[in-house]
Structure 1
Amino acid sequence: MLAAEMHEKEQTILEITARLDMRDEETAKRVESPEYQALLRKAFRDWAGTESEEKRVLIRNLLANAASATLASDDVIKLFLEWIKDYSELHFAVIGAVYNSAGITRGSIWRKLGRPIVREDSSDADLFRLLIRDLSTGGIIRQHRETDYAGHFIAKRSLRTSTSKGETKAMKSAFDEEEQYELTALGDQFVHYAITDLPPKLEFKQASSADFNETEKEL
């Protein structure tokens, strides 16, 4: 098992290197920096949480993009590594559904996941509520909100609904078709860094992974 884990780490390092132009001075400087090396060490320390090929690919994409892009700070990249460790593939499928269809409803997300219609009191409905709650409280998705010219969120106006005497009011469905969801700024950056794959460089040679050798020895 340890040998398989080391092989996965080595493969990931090689794939990261294949996606970077190490002849670019800024990229090479970034890869050799203590800050980037710290990101590598954190990613591989938490490797036990990378229990699937999908998560391995997310880490590869994140580290490759973190070496070549400067949209997010290293503190944000560390948060993304925590998300990959803590969330499941189903969480990431929900993130993908929201990213591809901004303003999507919970019901539409459920259908995009290819799931059948289920009862509101079923375990599947409870699981879906949990997924939405995890991603909402985690700051990855949110209900759509209008903003003013300065980017301030505008508070929603509360709509009071009258209930006739004797009428029972049902709770909002797990698969609601009214409230719209979108990615937060953090969620959007997560997609850019972890889900977007840099294409390998055609001129890549395995020997170019020497820049990562010191990190690999520490793992």
Structure 2
Amino acid sequence: MNPSAQGYVYLVDDDPDIRFYLSDLLRQLGYVVATFADADTFFKESMDLSPAVVLMDMRMPGLTGVQAQQRLQAIGRQTPVVFISGESHPQEIIDAMKGGAVDFLIKPFNREQLVAALDRALARDVKQRDQFVRLTHVQRMFKALTEREREVFFLILQGHANQSIGELTGVQADTVKKHRAAVFDKFQVSSTAELMALCAGLDLAN
């Protein structure tokens, strides 16, 4: 992607005039845009890039917007969605927002509304991808721990000191100290605070 680009926009709309107008506008604003006439074509031809957002009409031939949103979730693709629609039933809007849509823009909307919604979606995608990269990194290091080190690791994250860990595990404090040092070494950290910050918000128990 061009370093100056704002992000990727997958524009999915069956109206060729809308596709032409919005794609031209968004490219002028610095976004990288790929257009699709329907959701089926989007799923067949688009690549999972980041940071990105799906800008999608609600009512199209084939899959509706909500059905496409559900399919994204089913295949594990977390690209945020912004819906656009000329007319929609309240239930469609509710379903879209419950499904995690960033915004639902009713046509005609202005450029400022569109850009604000797209930028919120792109920011969410950056955060999601950063979280995924961090989780993958931490999982790789976690797998390098022995069974005893994993036990000590979780107790460290709970804030237990060496003596407390020893009492809970039945291991001598000096041995706990060695296990703690091994955990720090494998996670490439030098303190409990660093370990907690690295693992904050990640579920490694499963």
Scaled to the shorter chain, the TM-score interval is 0.3 to 0.5
Which of 1 and 2 has higher RCO (CA within 8 Å, sep 6+)?
1
TM superposition score normalised by structure 2 = 0.34
Task: Specify the structure having the higher radius of gyration (Cα).
Answer: 2
